């Protein structure tokens, strides 16, 4: 057990889920999501024209499920959290890859049913990079990308998080995305972060922190929540 403040920057509802995992470990979890979620103005096309739907986040599943009752379209998901959300929302069948968007594209290409139309819908946020689409198109798929939601930065850190950082004492910040890292650093302008250690879910998520010159940055061995928490456990044990 440690009283070291651990600031969770993940977007809700993931913030609360990560907080529960930390509290179960006896850790001092401080919630401060640095991004909010909002529906974009992009229309969701009729799903009947696609051979499958690709989800690269649990939030993509939630926004899609809230707008369409279709659940029998095969869902191709990156990682266990996204796949779990798809199952929770009733999608079937649900396919789960491990790794990042490139890994998901390779997984889809190698597990695609013979003879099925290679037309996919990718639902994500407006900041999603085009890596997945490019990789799938290189495999002969036609991909329609719909930025169904966007994630603007929060106006400020939550008071407990701001107080912990301004105290200038050692603290840990959990980073779940590159955009989240950028938002956190922007919200911390003028704050001394020299005593802060960062634990990031992936190299890509950690990049803004590394580019800002922070040296205490731990990166999960695999880009998912379980490995992020494992990296956190190892870092705390080694202090």
What pLDDT, on a 0 to 100 scale, did the predictor assign at position 158?
Answer: 96
Let me know the angle formed at the C-alpha of 187 by 183 and 193, rounded to the nearest 5 degrees: 105
pTM above 0.85, yes or no: no
Per-residue pLDDT averaged across 88-113, rounded? 91
* Residue 25 in this model has a pLDDT that exceeds 80: yes
* Residue 1 in this model has a pLDDT that exceeds 70: no
What pLDDT, on a 0 to 100 scale, did the predictor assign at position 100?
Answer: 79
DSSP annotation string for 128-181: --SHHHHHHHHTT-EEEEEEEEE-PBPSS--HHHHHHHHTT--EEEEE--HHHH
Report whether 145 contacts 124 (CB < 8 A): yes
* Residue 56 in this model has a pLDDT that exceeds 80: yes
Q: Report CA torsion sign: 11, 25, 237, 234.
A: negative
Exposed (0-12), middle (13-18) or buried (19+): which is 65, by Cβ within 10 Å?
Answer: middle
What pLDDT, on a 0 to 100 scale, did the predictor assign at position 128?
Answer: 74
* Residue 172 in this model has a pLDDT that exceeds 70: yes
* Residue 12 in this model has a pLDDT that exceeds 90: no
Q: Domain map of the chain by residue range?
A: 38-150, 161-239
Map residue 97 onto helix, strand or coil.
strand
* Residue 129 in this model has a pLDDT that exceeds 80: no
What pLDDT, on a 0 to 100 scale, did the predictor assign at position 130?
Answer: 80
DSSP 212: T
For the structural domain made of 161-239, what CATH number should be given? 3.40.50.10090
Among 174, 218, 216, 211, CA closest to 193: 216
CA pair distance 95, 108, nearest whole angstrom: 9
What pLDDT, on a 0 to 100 scale, did the predictor assign at position 160?
Answer: 96
Report whether 105 contacts 140 (CB < 8 A): no
* Residue 103 in this model has a pLDDT that exceeds 90: no
% pLDDT > 90, the chain: 78
Domain 38-150: which topology?
Answer: Rossmann fold (3.40.50)
How far from the centroid of its chain's Cα atoms is residue 165's Cα?
23
Q: What is the mean pLDDT of the chain?
A: 92
Q: Which residues contact 163 (CB under 8 A, 6 or more apart)?
A: none
What pLDDT, on a 0 to 100 scale, did the predictor assign at position 187?
Answer: 96
pLDDT digits (tens, 9 = 90+) for 204-226: 899 999 999 999 999 999 888 99
What pLDDT, on a 0 to 100 scale, did the predictor assign at position 223?
Answer: 85
Count the neighbouring beta carbons within 10 Å of the beta carbon of residue 145.
Answer: 16
Q: Report CA torsion sign: 103, 125, 69, 44.
A: negative
* Residue 146 in this model has a pLDDT that exceeds 80: yes
Helix then strand then coil, % of the chain, to nearest 5: 40, 25, 40
Helices 203-211, 178-187: inter-axial angle, 10-degree rounding = 30
Among 31, 37, 38, 35, CA closest to 17: 31
What pLDDT, on a 0 to 100 scale, did the predictor assign at position 163?
Answer: 96
Count the neighbouring beta carbons within 10 Å of the beta carbon of residue 212.
Answer: 14
CA pair distance 32, 196, nearest whole angstrom: 15
């Amino acid at each position: 057990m440690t009283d070291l403040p651990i600031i969770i920057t993940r977007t809700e509802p993931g913030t609360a889920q990560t907080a529960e995992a930390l509290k179960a470990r006896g850790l001092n979890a401080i919630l401060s999501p640095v991004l909010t979620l909002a529906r974009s103005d992009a229309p969701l096309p009729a799903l009947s024209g696609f051979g499958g739907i690709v989800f690269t986040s649990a939030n993509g599943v939630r926004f899609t499920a809230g707008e369409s009752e279709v659940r029998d379209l095969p869902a191709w998901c990156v990682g266990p959290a996204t796949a779990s959300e798809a199952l929770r929302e009733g999608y079937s069948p649900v396919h789960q890859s491990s790794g990042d968007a490139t890994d998901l594209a390779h997984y889809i290409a190698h597990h695609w049913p013979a003879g099925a139309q290679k037309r996919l819908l990718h639902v994500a946020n407006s900041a999603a990079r085009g890596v997945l689409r490019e990789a799938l198109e290189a495999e002969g798929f036609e991909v329609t990308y719909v930025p169904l939601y966007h994630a603007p930065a929060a106006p400020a850190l939550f008071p407990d998080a701001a107080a912990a950082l301004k105290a200038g004492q050692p603290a840990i910040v959990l980073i779940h995305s590159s955009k989240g890292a950028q938002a956190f650093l922007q919200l911390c302008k003028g704050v001394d972060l020299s005593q802060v250690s960062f634990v990031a879910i992936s190299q890509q998520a950690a990049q803004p922190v590394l580019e800002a010159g922070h040296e205490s940055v731990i990166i999960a061995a695999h880009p998912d929540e379980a490995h992020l928490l494992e990296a956190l456990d190892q870092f705390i044990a080694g202090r």
